[in-house]
Structure 1
Amino acid sequence: MINAVKSKIIPILFLTIILAYMFFNFQGLSSFLATSDSDNIESVRKSIENAAVQCYALEGHYPPSIDYLKENYSIITNEDAYIYHYEVEASNIMPTILVFKKWKE
């Protein structure tokens, strides 16, 4: 009788452990992917900022637009994945650079 109970409990316990592991592993994966997205956005924003600073160092003014950076400093943008906000106040003041991930449905 005890062996019959053990033979039923062990597979159920094993299955429960596997399902719990998969659940918590999935939570970790989704957390990792969310962190990865924010890291990518910051990396894209930083590359635009670095190109703007390089332009200022070489030309004595910040670039008037992201298009200027694309044409003269080899910046590549992905308008399908990101929204870019580049606002210039003056040629000697660092522009406001924001990058947002586009919402996909």
Structure 2
Amino acid sequence: MKKAFIQGPRRRHTGLLGAAALFLCMVILVVCGVNSMSRSTAEKRQQAAGQAIRRAAVQCYAIEGRYPRDLSYLQKNYGLLLDNDHFVYHYQPLGDNLMPQISVFYLPQEQ
């Protein structure tokens, strides 16, 4: 006697679960990709901010023969723009003729 194979609701649910799992994996991959790009962009902005400060300090040294004492001098006289909403800046002069220590730190945003 042959048994009839009946495709019932159980078979249909298996297909839906597989599609839902595939969709969930795709969403997770997209979210991870966006987060990775956001971190990369923030790091590039941080590096660009540090380079802008260094360029302004070197320009000041070339014109005036000394490095500036603080960042406000560079802002006032050399048009340096700082993003205080996203970064914290560390500027420590070491002397009139020595390049200052310059560090830029990303300020985590509160959600």
What TM-score comes out, normalization by structure 2 length?
0.82
Q: Which residue of 2 aligns with 1:22?
A: 27
Q: Report the AA paired with residue 81 of structure 1.
A: H
Sequence identity (%): 29
RMSD across aligned positions (CA): 1.7
Rg larger in 1 or in 2? 2
SS of residue paired to 2:89: strand
Q: Which runs of 5+ in 1 are unaligned?
A: none
Residue deviations 1:7-55 (CA, integer Å, cap 9, x gap): 3333222111110011122122212211221111111111111111111
Q: Tell me how far apart the structure 2 counterparts of residues 67 and 42 of structure 1 sit (CA, whole Å).
A: 20
Q: Tell me how far apart the structure 1 counterparts of residues 83 and 9 of structure 2 sit (CA, whole Å).
A: 61
SS of residue paired to 2:54: helix
Q: Which residue of 1 aligns with 2:87?
A: 82
Q: In the comparison of the two structures, how many residue pairs are matched?
A: 105
2:76 aligned to which of 71, 85, 95: 71
What TM-score comes out, normalization by structure 1 length?
0.86
Aligned-pair CA distance for 1:78: 2.4
Aligned-pair CA distance for 1:103: 3.1
Q: Report the AA paired with residue 60 of structure 1.
A: G
Of 32-41 and 68-77, more deviation after overlay is shown by 32-41
> Is 2:110 aligned against 1:92?
no
